Structure 1
Amino acid sequence: MVRTVFAVIYIVLLVLGTLPRLFRMKKLAPTLSPEEKDRLVHKTPDSFGKGMIKASGSTVEVKGLEHVPERAVLVVCNHQSNFDIPVLMGYLNKPIGFISKVEIKKLPIVSTWMELMNCVFMDRSNRRQSLQAIKDGIELLKNGHSLVIFPEGTRSKGKEMGEFKTGSFHLAVKSGVPILPVTVNGTYNILEANDNKIKPAHVTLTISEPIYEEQYKDMDLTELAAYTQHIIASKL
């Protein structure tokens, strides 16, 4: 419990400490290229992700960084824990935005950073808004910004994976970007396995080879989701 309280206080201070840089990032010149803007903006989320892992006392082992393309990608990842997001921000070594639930927009400071990171907020209870969110994500990918999806739709809170939903794979198919399968393992041991009390754990982040358009163009969404899930599951 002491570690949990310390970690929460540390994380709150981390968030508040980003305010000066947040104001500077909001004033970036609109003429900057997507790559340059992402590079500048994501310095803080990357540092924040590592800070959250440090606060939990956990360690992260990364495998397969050489598989990360320089171009925009759709990162497809399994979802074990709330700590998956800081692990991806801090250790994937690539500027990324997230397809996020719309409720996160209520969080001050955090939601503003997410907008700068080109995150897309999705209200799964509103079909029309969900479709618009997918369209927005496709445009971001076409414009050179990478996005992360968790196709299970919710945290598994353990090692077992839920079935991948097919809808979010429209993001790759409609934009033509590579799919980057990423496997996270052990994050649930930081929080969810301990009655939501933070404890140190060892996390492995495994990046598999990208699936390029030439490989998936003849697959339907069900086949593509199952193929991607198989790759991710094989690294657990």
Structure 2
Amino acid sequence: MFRYWFLTIYVVVSFFKSMRHLYDHELNDPRISYTKRMHLIHEHAKRFARGCIDQSGSVMTIRQQKKLPDGPVIYITQELNPVTTTLLIGHLEKPFAFMAKRGLFRYPILKQWLKKMAVIHQNQSDDALLEEAKERISSGQSVLLSETYRQMAEAIAEDCDCPLETSGTDRLLTGKIVKRLRPVDVDIHIKAPVMMSEFAQKRA
């Protein structure tokens, strides 16, 4: 229960502090490239996400088979939910766009951050999702998709398709009405990236 309230206080305080960062001149300077701006925004989000994990008392372990190539990649995770997304924002190397339900855009401060992070509205047609994801990749930003969208990932991947697996995230929140936080060991497994040229040869 104490961890739950500590996390709640941390989230509230962090959101108020984020208002100053939202209008930081570095994040809005038109002279900064899209890729550089995404890195700056991602650093703010990463500190927030890691703070949430620290408040839970959990231990993160990252296992990466091979160094990722330069440029944007497509991350694929088995299941995409708020807990998993928070974990990955805090611990993945490359800034990435992801899908979020339209309801999350109702909250003023959160809405501004989601827009700055180039988050994709999930409640739209597959064709629209495909076009938005392609736009992020072509702009130099990585994309995070769930296994449900693997076919879409294979269609838009220009540089590499990087499968990603997580475990232990379902044990971060327990309880029924009021969630109780308890520390757990969480593993993030990043498989070796698959270059699309090699992928095409295997399918031929």
Question: For this structure pair, what is the TM-score category when the shorter chain's length is used for normalisation?
Answer: 0.7 to 0.9
Write the letter of the residue equivalent to 1:70. D
Matches within 5 A, 1:82-97: 82-97=82-97
The alignment status of 1:139 with 2:135, answered yes or no, reads yes
Distance 2:138 2:187 in 1: 30
The alignment status of 1:216 with 2:194, answered yes or no, reads no
Q: Which runs of 5+ in 1 are unaligned?
A: 152-164, 221-236
1:138-187 superposed Cα distances (whole Å, 9 cap, x missing partner): 11111211111123xxxxxxxxxxxxx3x453244234231111111111
Q: 1:176 aligns with which of 141, 158, 172?
A: 158
Number of residue pairs matched?
201
The alignment status of 1:110 with 2:110, answered yes or no, reads yes
TM-score, normalisation: structure 2 = 0.87
- Secondary structure of 1:67's aligned partner: coil
More deviation in 96-105 or 24-33?
24-33
- Distance of aligned partners of 1:134 and 1:102 in 2 relative to their CA distance in 1, 3 Å threshold: farther
Alpha-carbon offset, residue 5 of structure 1: 2.2
Write the letter of the residue equivalent to 2:161. I
TM-score, normalisation: structure 1 = 0.76
Higher relative contact order (CA 8 A, sep 6+): 2
Alpha-carbon offset, residue 27 of structure 1: 5.3
Considering fraction of residues, name the structure with more strand: 2
Percentage of matched positions with identical amino acids: 20
The alignment status of 1:205 with 2:201, answered yes or no, reads no
Distance 1:77 1:38 in 2: 21
Alpha-carbon offset, residue 219 of structure 1: 7.2
Alpha-carbon offset, residue 217 of structure 1: 2.8
Write the letter of the residue equivalent to 1:197. R
